[in-house]
A = this chain, B = another copy of it.
Amino acid sequence: MLKLAVIGSGSGTNYLAIQEAIEKGTLDAQVVCVLSDVPDALILERARQHDTPAFHVDCAPFKTKLDGEAEQRVIALLEQHDADLVVLAGFMRLIKPALIARFAGRIVNIHPALLPAFPGLHSWKQALDYGVKVAGCTVHFVDEGMDTGPIILQKTVPILDEDTVETLHARIQQQEHLAYPEALRLIAANRLTLRGRRVLQTLPRDLN
């Protein structure tokens, strides 16, 4: 069974969607630990409510990256809990080479935009300001760039004339909560292969 370590900075709605998929039996995986750089992040409380080991990792003195001692502490926690896959869920720091090397090809992220459009912060606001008519979310493998890794799946949502940042963000989040468990199911079933930057799906094992 695929052992997931979830890392997030916020309320953990994507963590919750993953945990609920596991509990409903639609995702054959287990969350072995939840880590956060924010001591009072709701994601930690939610993890504890689901009897999942939850840890705050102090990431000072860095503000926008996971590096140095904090990075080593995260690697140690991931190893202690025997994590197979690192699942970034609203983690607001850039991941650095040491962690990427230790979990090569085994770190995934979800981004609230149709990458490569609108990387970085507040993507839904970027999309609204630009005036695109379609937004969405992207689940991707993590490389050393910001939101640049190979894409596992994307889901779209329309942008309506009456949308505000709040309504658009909420519509994208609904799709994130479907997309992340779906992507993890593909990984858990060992169905993804990489060709160049393209992430391709092999058939389920019993159909091959």
Contacts and interface: CB of A to CB of B under 8 A. Distances in A.
Interface of A: 114-118, 128-134, 136, 150-154, 156, 161, 196-201
Contact of A134 (B130, B133, B154, B200): B154
Contacts of A156: 134, 156
A134 B158 CA distance: 13
B131 A199 contact: yes
B116 A134 contact: no
18 contacts: A114-B117, A114-B132, A114-B134, A115-B132, A116-B117, A116-B130, A116-B132, A129-B197, A130-B151, A131-B197, A131-B198, A131-B199, A133-B151, A133-B152, A133-B153, A133-B154, A156-B156, A161-B201
A132 to B, nearest CB: 6
Contact of A117 (B117, B128, B200, B201): B117
B196 A129 contact: yes
Contact of A197 (B130, B200, B201): B130
Given A114-B114, A115-B132, A161-B200, 19 more contacts: A114-B117, A115-B117, A116-B117, A116-B118, A116-B130, A116-B132, A117-B117, A129-B197, A130-B197, A131-B150, A131-B198, A131-B199, A132-B151, A132-B154, A133-B151, A134-B136, A134-B156, A156-B156, A161-B201
A180 to B, nearest CB: 14
Nearest to A151: B131
Contacts of A131: 150-151, 196-199
Q: Which interface residue of A131, A134, A152, A200 has the most chain B CB atoms within 10 A?
A: A131
